[in-house]
Structure 1
Amino acid sequence: MDDQGTPTDPARRSRTSGIDRALQILDILTERHQPMTAYELAKVTGAPPSTVYKLIDELQERAMLSRGSDGRAWLGPRLMRYGLAYRARMSAFGEAERAMFALNERVGEMVQICARDEGMMQVVAMAEGTGPFRVTSDVGTRVPLNWTASGRLLVGHLPDEARLAVFRACARPSNTGLAETDPEKLSRMAHRDFHDGLSVQIDTSEDEVACIAAPIRGLDGTCELTMSVVMPKHRVQDRFDLIARAVRDAAFSVERALGLHHRG
């Protein structure tokens, strides 16, 4: 029986649990960026090794996972098909990628496109800068929303209560210890940054690193993606006005190309 006294299907509960565990395995491999043994996956998930071994076999049979010669599990080719199909439908992404390379050429700094993945911000595309400056984030990197300028923008369009609930659930200290963690402050910052069309972070995700980001909005006015310039902190003072204008223009160019006019 469920909470309303309605009979529930034990087989469905079991199947749902299996799906959740399979997704957990896929998420862990994606986040770790490396193949793992069934034993390692069992330790991370807290699931019985026998369950994980069985799931890996089933996922491998369906090409959702692959196995190397050492027996370690890795993401399978079927996932690429899903990812490409999803990406092909994201017309905003194609326009954003073109704008990313144009912005990268214009400012000579690293440029990233980011999207929201539940309580995390994820880098979905990146163009390296022309100098030796590098950051640890790469395509696929996920960090909590409260660590980054882009993370705040990606929830800035939400109603007050929804925005507050997101930060209550996901905010946590950054590695530098400088990221804001108070949900109410974060909610106000996200709202302000989104409506200003610009968000800035310095040292909150990585030491000596600054990020200047602008939202890319969809048909309904929500923040679908962000365009951001990632650069050394010491160059921000001299280049801030140029970078802020350029990243805003790049984000707006994507919206214009899609026939959107949220910002005039």
Structure 2
Amino acid sequence: MDDVSAEMINRRARGLDRAFEILDFLRIKRQPVRPNEIAQAIGAPRSSVYELVNLMMRQGVLEYRGDDGRVFLGRKLYFLGTAYAEQFDLMRECDKLLAKIAEETRETSQMCLLEGNKYTVAQMKEGIRPFRISSNVGDPVPIPWTASGRLLVGHMSDAEILDFIPPEDFRLPNGHWLDPAVFIAEVRKAKEDGYFTFNSIVETFTHCFAAPVYQADQVCIATLCLVAPKEDGLRNHARYLRSLLDAGADLSSRLGHAGKRHVHSA
């Protein structure tokens, strides 16, 4: 391959990386934005952002919103996401289980994943409460802030965990710092117990439950979660946890995990 061809391939790769950076920015922003504002936010040349935005507009990946030049995610992404969900066993199998958990507990149930080095809610079924106490689907959250985070990094070594989680993510919402050694100890305890629950450090009036979903290679690829008012969560702790653990074991077995069902005693 000559130098000209290699440079062309590198330019295309950089352009593709930039295009995904634009899409991720809009997903997190969750509102239409002008291309020049996108360029400023992601630290990219305006010319390249405008070029990529126009390309994605032609493909239906982005769409105009309003008459002032703002753009947002396009409907083609919805169809791509639908096709993905239909073929991805975890997403397809999880929907009914989340509905079952929400019905059994009357609380908000979630399926959570790692996206890069952040935690995110991938699916959710609302409970019957009139107020909402859960994260938005798709919002990136620092791993140490979450109950699920203690399970999702359980297959990593201590050094791998510290390399994986950005140091600033150990700064909690109240401004205090979580000692990484304390976090790692909680990760090991969660792995041993087969679940993790705690009073939320993001929403101080809630109690969070997380149970692992394993694939065949023994790696926790997702968690099933409940977010409940603190008093209700503590009062119904054993029942809520049992509902999650049963659902997590069921989903894990469908994904090829041959581990033993975890038995929890109150």
Is 1:121–1:145's contact at 8 Å kept on the other side of the alignment?
Answer: yes
Asked if 1:208 corresponds to 2:190, the answer is no
Mean Cα displacement is larger for which, 100-109 or 160-169? Answer: 160-169
Question: Any residues of structure 2 matched to 1:23-42 within 5 Å, and which?
Answer: 23-42=20-39
Q: Give the match's secondary structure for 2:165.
A: helix
In the alignment, the residues of structure 2 paired with residue 72 and residue 216 of structure 1 have an alpha-carbon distance, to the nearest angstrom, of 40
User: Could you tell me whether the CA contact under 8 Å between 2:146 and 2:200 is conserved in 1?
Assistant: no
CA displacement, residues 101-140 of structure 1 (integer Å, 9 cap, x when unaligned): 1111111111111111011111111111112241251222
The CA distance in 1 between the partners of 2:10 and 2:256, in whole Å, is 45
SS of 2:224's equivalent in the other structure is strand
Q: Does the 8 Å CA contact 1:171/1:182 hold for their aligned counterparts? A: no
Q: What's the CA shift string for 1:209-247, capped at 9, x where partnerless?
A: 221110011111111111011011122321112212221
Deviation per CA, 1:26-50, whole angstroms, max 9, x where unpaired? 0000001111111211120122222
Q: Which residue in the other structure is 1:154 paired with?
A: 152
Q: What are the within-5 Å matches in structure 2 for residues 109-148 of structure 1?
A: 109-135=107-133, 137-148=135-146
Q: Output one character per residue of 1:54-107: Cα deviation in whole Å (capped at 9) or x when no partner.
A: 111111122221112322111123322332232223212222221111111111
Tell me the secondary structure at the aligned position of residue 171 of structure 1: helix
Cα gap change, 1:77 to 1:151, in 2 (>3 Å): same
Q: Which residue number in structure 1 is paired with residue 192 of structure 2?
A: 195
Partner of 2:10: 13
TM-score by length of 1: 0.88
Residue 98 of structure 2 contacts residue 109 of structure 2 at CA under 8 Å; is this kept in 1? yes
The 1:220–1:235 alpha-carbon spacing in structure 2 relative to 1, beyond 3 Å, is same
Which residue does 1:47 correspond to in 2? 44
Q: CA deviation at 1:175?
A: 2.2
Structure 1 residue 240 corresponds to structure 2 residue 225: no
How many residue pairs are counted as aligned between the two chains? 258
Residue of structure 2 in register with 1:98 after alignment:
96
Secondary structure at the aligned position of 1:80 is classed as helix
Deviation at 1:152, TM superposition (A): 2.1
Distance of 2:85 and 2:167 partners within structure 1: 28
Deviates more, 1:38-47 or 1:150-159: 150-159
Kindly, what percent of the aligned residue pairs are identical?
Answer: 31
Whether the 8 Å CA contact 1:133–1:232 is kept in 2: the answer is no
The corresponding residue for 1:72 is: 70
Which AA in structure 2 matches 1:122? T
Residue matched to 2:264: none
Gaps of 5+ in 1: 1-5
CA RMSD across the alignment: 2.3
Q: CA deviation at 1:259?
A: 4.8
Give SS of 1:9's match.
helix
Distance 1:24 1:77 in 2: 18
Native 8 Å contact 1:110 1:126 kept in 2: yes
Q: Does 1:88 align with 2:108?
A: no
Please tell me whether the aligned partners of residues 63 and 76 of structure 1 are also in contact (alpha carbons under 8 angstroms).
yes
Give, in whole Å, the separation in 2 of the partners of 1:58 and 1:94: 32
Q: Deviations over 1:4-39 (max 9, x none)?
A: xx9993323322222222111100000011111112
Task: Give the TM-score taking structure 2 as reference length.
Answer: 0.88
In 2, the alpha carbon distance for the partners of 1:83 and 1:169 equals 32
Question: What is the letter of the counterpart of residue 67 of structure 1?
Answer: Y
Deviation of 1:141 after TM superposition, in Å, equals 2.2
Letter aligned with residue 124 of structure 1: A
Query: Of residues 203, 217, 233 in structure 2, which corresponds to 1:220?
Result: 217
Cα distance, 1:128–1:188 mapped onto 2, change above 3 Å: same
